[in-house]
Amino acid sequence: MDNLTHSLVGLAAAKAGLERRSAYATLVCVVAANLPDIDIVTLSRGPYVYLANHRGITHSIVGTLALAVAFPLLFFAGERLVARLRGRAPRASLKGLLICSLILAASHPLLDLMNNYGLRPFLPWSGRWFYGDILFIADPWIWLALGGACFLLTARTWLRVAAWGVVAVALTLFLFVSGGRFGPGVPVTIYAIWLAGIAVFIALYNFKFAERWGASVAGAALAFVVVYCGALAFAHARALEESKVAADSLAQGGETVTRVAAMPTAANPLAWRCVADTDRSTFRFDLRLGAGGEEGRDLFRVEKPERAARELVRLASEDERARVFLNFARFPVERVRREEGGATFVDFADLRFTEPGARQRAGSFALEVEVPPPGR
């Protein structure tokens, strides 16, 4: 999930009661909720080093536990040192900070497991990827529920109100501008519900709702996220059933469908992006729950390389970047491309996210490898 979601989970958990465990507990909750993403430091060594390490050991059970224990220990020691230097009594409770850190650090891989990027929870013993496929990587309804609750509970000054207003405007612009970029177009109804939700939280703020209900507001928001994920799990099960039927109908020339995945799209729980693998091709299509007869919507198919092209793909796969990419890719596809000057390239892509040849706009989800001519 995106780091805004993780931060809101940490802040909401603190406001739901964990902030009473210790001084600085709110800060520890927010930081611990983002802690496994410390692997971003590998980005300094290039996108494919990052791809190899992201959602790796720091997101595994062992890595998350180690970070969750180490962080509050270091924070507690640092707070005691600062207190001594300033001549005051230390305020942090090690037990309280440990509880906060363990709970919120665990929430990070749990949320990440629910989307289609994947997670490797059993590193360093097993590099197998697991996919929940129920939450889009940035879910506006989680933003709205948790952000609205945190707004009600923290907007005590006009400066904080203004800050939350900036966040609301930024997220609204993001939703309106990019909502259709990550799957089927977002219906106007979705935008209307989003704006209505913001209006409701503004009204609740004016009626001083949080002053009456206190920590229960954050607890209710977190409960909504749990129920919402359960509903999405039910929707995913239905989408997977429909996608298997659709994939069989879209298979061409007697090809055999070997696996199918139904993955969430931005903002719309009824719209799913599906990818199917067969013995001769890999294809992607969009599916709307309950909308029979639209199985082939936005169909995109890539045939698997054969004969000479297959050998070129094998050679390109020996490139170190390609090895990293293929270890990550869930639905890898390849296309051989020859340019006028005689150079031969293999375009790799993960059909979950992009198509072959989309290197410039797909980041690490697509790769171009030049295959040297014989003798080089």
pLDDT per position as a tens digit, 280-307: 999 999 999 877 655 557 899 999 999 8
The segments of the chain whose pLDDT lies below 70 read: 179-185, 292-296, 358-363, 373-376
- Predicted local distance difference test score (pLDDT) of residue 294: 55
Measured CA to CA, the distance from residue 311 to residue 102 in angstroms comes to: 49
- pLDDT on residue 374: 60
Tell me the two tokens of residue 100: 């906060």
Per DSSP, the three-state class of 340 is coil
Model-level pTM?
Answer: 0.93
How far is Cα of residue 150 from the mean position of the Cα atoms in its chain? Answer: 21
Closest alpha carbon to 332 in 296, 293, 363, 366: 366
What per-residue confidence (pLDDT) applies to 187?
81
